[in-house]
Amino acid sequence: MPKTTTWVQPLLQCTNGHNLLGDRLGTSTICLLMKVNRSGQAQILDDVQLDQLAAAMPAGPHRIACLLTRYTACRISECLALRWGYIANGVVVFPGSITKSGKTREVDIHPRLSCALDQWRTEWSDYRLNGKPIHERVDIAPGALPGADHFLFPGLGFATHMKRQSYDRVLRRTLQELAIKGASSHSMRRSSLTKLADAGTPLRHIMEVSGHQSLDVLSRYLGCTPKQRRAAINAL
C-alpha cells in the first residue's frame, strides 16, 4: 500500500475490510479523503462552468487545450507538450519525457474531446499565429494534416510548442470575463479528478488517469462537494 499521512492511515484501517485502492468507494468515504477547504488551490469548477469556459475560450489551440486538460485531467504543461503522434487508437499517450513523474500513461479519449481533436487536426495547418499560418512556420503545404512529430499547440518559434504563460494569459482573461474567481489552468485537472471521485471511481483507477504515485498526493487534489459532506455526516 502506498505511503500515507497520519490522518489517512487510520481511515484506511477503519473501512470494514474494504480495499480503498481497489474497491468502489462510497461518497462518505471519499469525502473524508478530500480537502474541504481549497487552502490556496485552484478552484474546482462544475460542469456548467467548465462548459461556459470552453465556449468562451478563443477558437483554436486555446479552446482545444482547455478541453484536453478537462477530459484527460492532465497538467497544462503535459498538454502543451503533446505531439500529434501521441494521439492514436482512441487514447492520448503522455510519454514519460513530458510527465512530472517521468512515467508514461495513457488516457482514453472522451467522445467530445475526440470531435474537437478531429476538427483541430483539419484546421491546424491554416490556423494563424500572430498573422502567420502554422503551415508556413513548420514548412508544410497549406491545408496539409499535421505530421506525427508536430506539436498540437505550436509556438511562435520553429519547432517549439505554446508557452504556458501564453495559455495562462488567455485563460485569465476569459475567466475574468465570466466572473469565475479562484480558477486557474489547474482547475480543469482538479475538477475532473474530483468528479471521478464523486462518481465512486476507485482511487487506483483515478491514479492511472492522473499519474499520481500515491494516495497521499492524490488526496490533496480532490475537493469535497456539499453532497459528499452531507453523505459523510449521514453515514455516522
Per-domain residue ranges of the chain:
8-42+186-234, 47-177
pTM of the model: 0.78
Q: What is the CA radius of gyration of the chain?
A: 19
Q: How confident is the model at residue 157 (pLDDT cuts 50, 70, 90)?
A: confident
| Pairwise CA distance, residues 212 & 235, whole Å | 28
pLDDT tens, residue by residue, 11-25: 333 333 444 444 444
CATH of region 47-177 = 1.10.443.10
Query: Rounded to 5 degrees, what angle do the CA atoms 194, 199, 203 make?
Result: 65
pLDDT tens, residue by residue, 35-80: 334 456 889 999 999 999 999 999 999 999 999 999 999 999 999 9
Burial of 219 from C-beta contacts in 10 A (0-12 / 13-18 / 19+)? buried
